């Protein structure tokens, strides 16, 4: 099928590339000149495993093209995806300006087509309930073309987006037109493995499904994070509890890993937006509010634990931060716990040395000279009073810990992701503080006088 994707950001590029890979002809529209040049040179502007290769393959084959011209891109399209950003405004409500501008441009382009022309417009961006209906009304008023509008929220995870797209748990389509549902079913045919996985519902249900999914996942994490407080107080182990409850099929094991707080471009934004969506419906959502409060507190609790257990004043102490990305396998630092933790430590007078395998450049833009940037985790830890592990990069679990312990001022590790091996920590002489798990308190070999 002939597909146009407006917006070649993270979601748009993954969507366009994957649709090209299952046989469609895709035109990606990108307004950012620099990004368009990168794409037109056959390069992928974001780091996402497998995307660059797939993009290059289908770009070279001519099945995937890029342009800045909405008009020409929309002219022959059967399906037009709107995948522009819907970022949060400072007050947490959703900024719809990019989507509105894209909708308007598509509309103007459609006005040139005759009234026998038929197109399905798909809102891929995460939008508040009611947006698709509004766009449909707007387009109906503005154009004679036979236009359908469907909502098709994305559930891609950074780091596994290509695989998530090509093997989806479900595809959610919201709308009111059986004809549009049939077109979307045809579009996704190669990846619909079970008929039940292709779900149709009304616009508002689809729109809210996206927010509900992210809020539910974030809620599970916040719940487990809240449990870490009890675990630490009563001497329980959150990992045992995770297994204990995750094996109940009604609960399931996913998204129950406790840590120093969730981040990323979706959970914080979508949970905050859901709170505003509730307010707009004259409902004060206590639960959704609590998900965010617990998350914020957990980041702070992690930083405070470092200060409390350091064994010396934080003022003038050196803390090595391992991991800056909001999760492993990405260079994305949006809403990363590292931002809050580093800020808090610096405000309290600590000297922070930071390391990450991919996200260092992005974090430099925030902390610039305030942080000492280290090219490897071992040298970041040398001479430090403690290590704070914030991102669960697997590479951190296999470091030469004996050597690291010997070079640190005090062999102290705060594991914000519970990813280090307790036995290794014990054997290599570390004082080890995970989240919601019993700590290992060896007597500290202090080189620094408290
Ligand atoms: C998320 C959703 O999973 C995805 O469906 C949606 O489309 C976009 O938002 P993403 O932000 O890429 O995807 O990352 P995800 O793997 O979900 O992790 C989000 C955050 O939660 C990370 O900070 C991660 O460290 C944290 N997390 C995840 C936990 O703290 N515990 C867990 O058990 C799982």
Q: Which residue puts its alpha carbon closest to atom 22 of ligand 1? A: 262
pLDDT for the residue numbered 449: 43
pLDDT of the residue at 302 = 98
> Alpha carbon of 89 to those of 135, 160, 210, 300: distances in Å?
21, 28, 19, 23
Domains delineated in the chain: 2-201 (3.40.50.720), 246-450 (3.40.50.720)
pLDDT at 46: 87
CA of 262 to the centre of ligand 1 (A): 7
Looking at ligand 1, which residue's alpha carbon is closest to its atom 15? 157
Output the pLDDT for position 115: 66
- Verify whether ligand 1 is closer than 6 Å to residue 328 (CB atom): no
* Cα–Cα dist 216/262, whole Å: 13
Nearest CA, atom 14, ligand 1: 157
The finding on whether 124 has its CB within 6 A of some atom of ligand 1 is no
Residues 351, 364: Cα–Cα separation, whole Å: 15
Pocket test for ligand 1, best of 15, 216, 221 (most atoms within 8 A of CB): 221
Three-class HEC string of 241-280: HHHHHHCCCCCCCCCCCCCCCCCCCCHHHHHHHHHHHHHH
**Number of other CB atoms surrounding residue 37 within 10 Å:** 13
**Among 8, 231, 266, 374, the one annotated catalytic:** 266
Residue 439 appears among annotated catalytic residues = no
Contact 440, 422 (CB under 8 A): yes
Q: What pLDDT was estimated at residue 447?
A: 52
The reported pLDDT for the residue numbered 163 is 96
34-40: list long-range contacts, CB under 8 Å, 24+ apart.
35/8, 36/8, 36/66, 36/67, 36/68, 39/8, 39/13, 39/66, 40/66
Instruction: Report pTM.
Output: 0.93
Beta carbons within 8 Å of 367's beta carbon, 6+ residues apart = 342, 346, 352, 354
Check residue 108 and give its pLDDT.
83
Sheet of 2-6, strand order: 64-67, 25-29, 2-6, 79-82, 118-123, 146-151, 171-174, 198-201
Pocket of ligand 1 contains residue 168 by CB under 6 Å: no
User: Rounded to an integer, what distance in angstroms lies between the CA atom of residue 153 and that of residue 46?
Assistant: 21
pLDDT tens for the chain, residues 1 to 450: 999 999 999 999 999 999 999 999 999 999 999 999 999 999 999 888 999 999 999 999 999 999 999 999 998 899 999 999 888 888 877 888 888 888 888 888 887 776 667 899 999 988 989 999 998 998 888 877 788 999 999 999 988 999 999 999 999 999 999 999 999 999 999 999 999 999 999 999 999 999 999 999 999 999 999 999 999 999 999 999 999 999 999 999 999 999 999 999 899 999 999 999 999 999 999 999 999 999 999 999 999 999 999 999 999 999 999 999 999 988 899 999 999 999 999 999 999 999 999 999 999 999 999 999 999 999 999 999 999 999 999 999 999 999 999 999 999 999 999 999 999 999 999 999 999 999 998 755 555 444
């Amino acid at each position: 099928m002939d597909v146009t994707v407006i917006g070649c950001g993270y979601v748009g590029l993954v969507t366009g590339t994957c649709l090209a890979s299952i046989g469609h002809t895709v035109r990606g529209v990108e307004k950012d000149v620099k990004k368009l040049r990168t794409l037109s040179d056959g390069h992928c502007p974001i780091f996402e495993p497998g995307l660059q290769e797939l993009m290059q393959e289908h770009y070279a084959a001519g099945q995937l093209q890029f342009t800045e011209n909405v008009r020409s891109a929309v002219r022959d399209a059967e399906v037009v995806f709107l995948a522009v950003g819907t970022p949060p405004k400072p007050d947490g409500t959703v900024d719809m300006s990019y989507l509105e501008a894209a909708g308007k441009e598509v509309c103007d382009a459609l006005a040139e087509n005759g009234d026998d022309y038929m197109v399905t417009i798909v809102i891929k961006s995460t939008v508040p309930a009611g947006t698709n209906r509004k766009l449909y009304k707007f387009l109906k008023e503005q154009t004679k073309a036979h236009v359908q509008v469907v909502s098709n929220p994305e559930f891609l995870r950074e780091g596994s987006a290509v695989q998530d797209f090509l093997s989806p748990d479900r595809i959610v389509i919201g709308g009111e037109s059986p004809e549009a549902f049939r077109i979307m079913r045809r579009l996704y045919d190669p990846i619909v493995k079970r008929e039940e996985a292709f779900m149709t519902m009304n616009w508002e249900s689809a729109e809210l499904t996206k927010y509900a999914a992210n809020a539910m996942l974030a809620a599970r994490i916040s719940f487990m994070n809240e449990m870490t407080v009890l675990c630490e107080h009563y001497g329980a182990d959150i990992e045992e509890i995770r297994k204990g409850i995750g094996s109940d099929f009604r609960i399931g094991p996913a998204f129950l890993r406790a840590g120093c707080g969730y981040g990323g471009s979706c959970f914080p934004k979508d949970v905050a937006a859901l709170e505003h969506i509730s307010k707009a419906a004259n409902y004060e959502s206590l639960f959704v509010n609590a998900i965010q409060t617990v998350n914020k507190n957990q980041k702070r609790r992690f930083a405070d634990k470092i200060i409390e257990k350091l064994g010396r004043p934080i003022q003038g102490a050196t803390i090595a931060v391992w991991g800056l990305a909001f999760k492993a396998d990405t260079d994305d630092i949006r809403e990363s716990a590292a931002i809050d933790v580093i800020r808090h430590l610096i405000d309290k007078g600590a000297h922070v040395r930071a390391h990450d395998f991919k996200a260092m450049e992005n974090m430099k833009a925030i902390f610039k000279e305030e942080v000492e940037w280290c090219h490897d985790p071992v040298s970041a830890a040398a001479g430090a009073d403690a290590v704070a592990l914030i991102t669960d990069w697997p590479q951190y679990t296999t470091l030469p810990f004996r050597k690291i312990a010997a070079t640190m001022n005090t062999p102290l590790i705060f594991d914000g992701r519970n990813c280090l091996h307790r036995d290794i920590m014990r054997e290599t002489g570390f004082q080890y503080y995970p989240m919601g798990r019993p700590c290992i308190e060896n007597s500290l070999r202090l080189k620094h006088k408290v």
